[in-house]
Structure 1
Amino acid sequence: MIKALALIPTYDEVESLPVLVDRLLAAVPELDVLILDDASPDGTGELADRMAAADPRITVRHRPGKLGLGAAYLDGFALGIERGYTHVIEIDADGSHPPERLRAMLELAEAGDELVIGSRWMPGGSVVDWPMRREVLSRGANLYARLMLGVPAHDMTAGYRVYSTELLQRLDLESLESRGYCFQIDMTVRSHDAGASISEVPIQFRDREAGESKMSGSIIGEALTKVTGWGIGRRAAQLRALLPR
C-alpha cells in the first residue's frame, strides 16, 4: 500500500494555500501534507501553522528565507524518506495543478511506476488562461529538452509529480545543483538514467488565480543554457563510448 506525503513549497501563498489543501485532502483523504514555507512575509507560514493545529494530516517546516523551489523539494524528499513514506508528491500551492488528478497518478505509482508526471503536453493534457506566447515557449522548451537529452517524457518541466522514495534513494541528490526552473528537468534526467519507470498522466493546467508568478525570462534562459550544456555532454559521452579502445 502507498503511504504518500504531499510536499507544498510556499512563498506568499496565503490566499491560495488553504483552497489547495482542502481540494487535495478531499481528493485523497489518506494523504499527509508537508508545507515548506520560505519565511513568507504575507503570513503564509502562520496560516500553515493554524492549519496544522486543526488537522493532524498537515505538518509545517519553516525555512529561514527564500531558498528556492529545488531546495525546498530536496528538504521535503529527505523528510519523506526519514518518516518512512513510500512516495512523495510535488504540487504547487497556487492551484495550477488539479488535485483531482492525483488519484490517477497514485494508481500508476502503486502499479510500479517510480516517477509519475502530471503532464500538460501529452495527448489529453492542456493549459487554461495562458497567453499563446507562454504556451509556445513551454512547448518549445520541452521539445528542445527531449531532443537534447534523449528522455522520452512529454513534460520535463512539469512540477506536478509522484516519486517513489526508493527511486529518490538511488539518486545522487547531494550533487544536484539545479534549484530553479531546470530542477524538474534535472530530476527527470537523473531518474531516467537510474533506470526508473516513468509515466505521465494528462492534466489541465490552470494559471494561478491569486498571487504572482515567480517565473522570469532569466530563469528560463538559465534552464535552456543548462539543457544545452547537458545535451552536449551526453552526446560527447555517447561518442566516446563508440570509439575503439
Structure 2
Amino acid sequence: MNAPVSKTHLVLIPSYNTGARLLLETVGNVLAHWAPVWVVIDGSTDGSGEALQIFAASQPGLRVIVRDKNSGKGASVLHAARLALAEGFTHALVMDADGQHPVGRIRDFMAVSQAEPAALVLGKPVFGPEAPLVRLKGRKLSIGLVHFECLGDGIDDPLFGFRVYPLAPLVDVMRRTWFARRYDFDPELAVRLFWAGVPAINLPAACKYLSRTEGGISHFHYLRDNLRMIWLHTRLITALLLHKWPAARRAQKKRKQQSSA
C-alpha cells in the first residue's frame, strides 16, 4: 500500500517508554497508511527513541522529535503542533503509540477532516471483549460529566485519543490554560475546543487492549491520575458555572442548527 503524502495533514504520535518493538511496529504500520508521520519521544529511557531514530534514517516520511524530559502527552502534542504550524501544516491526527488505535482508519479520518477542515474529528471507540470492565464504567462517568460541561451531547467520547485536530485552534486553546498537559489532555481539549466553537464530528473506531504478553504498555497510575481527572472536571465545571456557560450554549445551538440543516 502506497501511503499518500500530505502537505497539510500529518499523523502525530507521542511516545513515552512504549518499548522499542511495539513503537517500531506501530510506526511502521502507520507509515503504510499515511505520511508524514511525526513521533515525539517524550523523555523515554527504554531505548525506543534510539531505535526509532535508526529506523527513521531509511524512512523519508518519518520525523522523530526528542524531548529530554518527560512532560506528558499534552505537552508533547503542543510542542509538535507549534512546529507543524510553523512548517505550514494545518491538521494533525493524534494517536497513541501503544498499538491500541486503528491505523486502518487513518485515511477515513483524514478524508473527513479535509472535507470539514474547521472540525475536530473525534474517534468514538468500539471496544472488544478484552476491554477491562472497570475502564468501561469509568468512561461512562467521564462522558456524563463532559455532557454536563457542554450543556448537552456532541462529544461522544472525551477520553479516546484517536482524533484529528485543527492545529491553530488547538494551540490557541492550550496557550490559554496551564493544564491539559498529561492524562487530562484529551478530555480537556475536547471540552475547551467545544466551548471555543470548534464543531465536532464523531466517527466510530475500533480500540483494542493489548495484554502484557502482547507487549501492552500502560503508564496510568490509578490514584494519581484519577485525582488528576477529578481536578480536571472540578475546574471545568467551575469555569462553566462562572463564565463559560454562554459559550457552551452558543456551541450547542450551533450544533443543533447544523444537525438539522
TM-score range, shorter chain: 0.7 to 0.9
Correspondent of 1:194 among 193, 196, 199: 196
For residues 34 and 128 of structure 1, the distance between their equivalents in structure 2, rounded to whole angstroms, comes to 31
For residues 37 and 226 of structure 2, the distance between their equivalents in structure 1, rounded to whole angstroms, comes to 29
Q: Secondary structure at the match of 2:112?
A: helix
Residue correspondence of structure 1 range 41-190 to structure 2 within 5 A: 41-112=45-116, 113-120=118-125, 125-150=126-151, 152-168=154-170, 170-190=172-192
Q: Are residues 63 and 169 of structure 1, via their aligned partners in 2, closer, same or farther at CA, if it must alter by over 3 Å? A: closer
For residues 43 and 204 of structure 2, the distance between their equivalents in structure 1, rounded to whole angstroms, comes to 33
For residues 119 and 88 of structure 2, the distance between their equivalents in structure 1, rounded to whole angstroms, comes to 16
Deviations 1:163-215 (A, max 9, x none): 12243354352534222222112211221122112111101111134143111
- 1:23 aligned partner: 29
Give the superposition deviation at 1:130. 1.6
For residues 21 and 8 of structure 2, the distance between their equivalents in structure 1, rounded to whole angstroms, comes to 28
Work out whether residues 12 and 93 of structure 2, in 8 Å CA contact, stay in contact via their aligned partners in 1: yes
- 1:221 aligned partner: 227
The residue type equivalent to 1:191 in the other structure is L
Q: Secondary structure at the match of 2:183?
A: coil
Q: Secondary structure at the match of 2:80?
A: helix
For residues 76 and 239 of structure 1, the distance between their equivalents in structure 2, rounded to whole angstroms, comes to 31
Extract unaligned runs of 5+ from structure 2: 1-5, 248-261
- For these two proteins, the number of residue pairs brought into alignment is 235
Work out whether residues 149 and 191 of structure 2, in 8 Å CA contact, stay in contact via their aligned partners in 1: no
For residues 239 and 72 of structure 1, the distance between their equivalents in structure 2, rounded to whole angstroms, comes to 30
- 1:36 aligned partner: 40
Q: Are residues 172 and 135 of structure 1, via their aligned partners in 2, closer, same or farther at CA, if it must alter by over 3 Å? A: closer
Q: Are residues 233 and 184 of structure 1, via their aligned partners in 2, closer, same or farther at CA, if it must alter by over 3 Å? A: same
Work out whether residues 116 and 161 of structure 1, in 8 Å CA contact, stay in contact via their aligned partners in 2: yes
Deviations 1:11-50 (A, max 9, x none): 222121111112212223xx21111112322211111111
- The TM-score with structure 1 as length reference comes to 0.87
- 2:251 aligned partner: none
Deviations 1:118-162 (A, max 9, x none): 111xxxx33452221121112222222222343620111121111
- 1:204 aligned partner: 206
Deviations 1:71-126 (A, max 9, x none): 11111111111111121121100010101111111121011152101111xxxx33
For residues 33 and 7 of structure 1, the distance between their equivalents in structure 2, rounded to whole angstroms, comes to 6
Q: Secondary structure at the match of 1:7?
A: strand
For residues 123 and 109 of structure 2, the distance between their equivalents in structure 1, rounded to whole angstroms, comes to 7
| Structure with higher RCO (Cα < 8 A, 6+ apart) | 1
Q: Secondary structure at the match of 2:76?
A: helix
